[in-house]
Amino acid sequence: MRMAELSRASGVPVATIKYYLREELLPAGERTSPNQASYDDSHVRRLRLIRAMLDTGGLSVAAAKEVVAALDAPDLGIHQVLGVAQRALISVRDDVTPADREWASERVEALARDRDWHVKPGEPSTDSLVAILATFRELGREQLLEHFLDSYARVADELARVDLHSLGDGPAESTVETMVVASVLTDALLAALRKVAQVNASARRFEGDGLSR
Amino acid sequence: MRMAELSRASGVPVATIKYYLREELLPAGERTSPNQASYDDSHVRRLRLIRAMLDTGGLSVAAAKEVVAALDAPDLGIHQVLGVAQRALISVRDDVTPADREWASERVEALARDRDWHVKPGEPSTDSLVAILATFRELGREQLLEHFLDSYARVADELARVDLHSLGDGPAESTVETMVVASVLTDALLAALRKVAQVNASARRFEGDGLSR
């Protein structure tokens, strides 16, 4: 199909498609003449994935490029691609004070012992967890953190099993793309579900009973 | 304290503090002379909260302003402030096709019946959940969604109970601020914990066993 049809099929404006081509987020079409190229269903699918990464996942264009490059690299294993997708989703504050960082690192190590996790300092997922724990402390909310941390960590383990289990399904060749979709969309899915659940729990507890603060 | 001390105490540069004052994210200090104002510990705490909202929570300055305004409004109830904090954290795609939206809305209604949730269309948490379900469908991943949805929804209910339980603690006057901190930081906390758990689960399953895709 031509560019205009690709735009109709994907719902993405032509100018945006051209931008994604320039940024190498979208592979070039097959050239059919000096001014024309032909696109196929793989381009439609890729465009939808790009929109999901940018709009729903909140990735930057640079981060989405890294994910797309990993997706297209033939010799990366599943665990490596998961690492790339995760790094793209993670942003780590770099202005944490040494004292807060040390406190948070010790807390993460204790948590890892409890849950039998191997955490490596320098790994983006570990660093981001340390930075978030440090933020609770900065805000003087260590006690609040203690309320959440163990339940949240247990739930995170439970969800990681659900996530990996889901990879067993579907055609094998799409496992890696499935994993990327899952990484990008499930943070957003869980955040949205939690908000619906919170509104309901909060309405039951606080609304209409005249409780003010 | 003066501006320079406030900067030292909070770790936020003077230029940034001035920007927050102009944007009315930070309340003005008490004027002590035409060119000088005096700040106190409440300003330090507020600055930390602002940084947490912008850096860790990923809120826009406009969204953070709404949260701060709700926090300072004396006659908003807890449930209302939670609503404002949630809306600030939610961004909803508006380019979902009618067919995908209808499919997603029906799925959300079915989920609500299962979980005994009252969901109102037009409520930001509901709209964001509909948009995310629609995104799974756009990507042809309804089956993947079915794997996640029920477990994730159950977990969301469990976490909403943990979240509300934590509000019982601490001095009563800080309940609302606690709730805002919790709303802003726990999405990030859970996302980071999930990534650590996923890396561990994935390493156990895929690494070193020579499995390629």
Q: Answer whether A148 sits within 8 Å of B172, measured CB to CB.
A: no
Number of A–B residue contacts, CB under 8 Å: 295
Report chain A residues whose CB lies below 8 A from the CB of B118.
200, 203
Report chain B residues whose CB lies below 8 A from the CB of A165.
147
Confidence category of residue A208, pLDDT binned at 50, 70, 90: low
Q: Answer whether A195 sits within 8 Å of B128, measured CB to CB.
A: yes
* Predicted model pTM: 0.80
| Distance (Å) from the alpha carbon of B149 to chain A's nearest alpha carbon | 8
pLDDT tens-place values along chain B, 213 residues long: 999 999 999 989 999 999 999 999 999 999 999 888 999 999 999 999 898 888 888 888 988 998 888 888 877 777 777 778 878 878 777 888 899 999 999 999 999 999 999 888 788 889 989 999 999 998 888 888 888 899 899 999 988 888 777 665 544 446 677 777 877 888 888 888 988 888 888 777 766 544 444
Question: What is the Cα Rg of chain B in Å?
Answer: 21
The confidence score (pLDDT) of residue A166 equals 67
Q: Answer whether A132 sits within 8 Å of B95, measured CB to CB.
A: no
Q: Are B64 and B53 in contact (CB under 8 A)?
A: yes
Report chain A residues whose CB lies below 8 A from the CB of B194.
156, 159-160, 163, 186-187, 190
The torsion of the CA quartet A88, B57, A204, A208, rounded to 10 degrees, works out to -150
Cα–Cα distance for residue pair B28/B39, rounded to 1 Å: 8
What six digits make up the tokens of B98?
A: 């009618």
| Distance (Å) from the alpha carbon of B132 to chain A's nearest alpha carbon | 6
pLDDT of A171 higher than 80? no
A2-18 burial, b at 16+ Cβ within 10 Å, e below that, comes to: ebeebbeebebeeeebe
So what's the ipTM on this one? Answer: 0.81
H, E, C per residue of chain B: CCHHHHHHHHCCCHHHHHHHHHCCCCCCCEEEECCEEECCHHHHHHHHHHHHHHHHCCCCHHHHHHHHHHHHCCCCCHHHHHHHHHHHHCCCCCCCCHHHHHHHHHHHHHHHHHHCCCCCCCCHHHHHHHHHHHHHHHCCCHHHHHHHHHHHHHHHHHHHHHHHHHCCCCCHHHHHHHHHHHHHHHHHHHHHHHHHHHHHHHHHHHCCCCCCC
B31-43 confidence digits (pLDDT tens): 999 888 999 999 9
Q: Answer whether B144 sits within 8 Å of A173, measured CB to CB.
A: no
**Nearest-Cα residue of chain B relative to residue A212:** B77
Q: Which of B56, B82, B159 lies closest to A132 in CB terms?
A: B56
Q: Answer whether A182 sits within 8 Å of B148, measured CB to CB.
A: yes
Q: Answer whether B93 sits within 8 Å of A169, measured CB to CB.
A: no
Confidence category of residue A211, pLDDT binned at 50, 70, 90: very low
Interface of B with A in 27-56 (CB under 8 A): 45, 48-49, 52, 55-56
3-state secondary structure of A164: helix
Per-residue DSSP letter, A173: G
The confidence score (pLDDT) of residue B210 equals 40
Q: Answer whether A79 sits within 8 Å of B143, measured CB to CB.
A: no
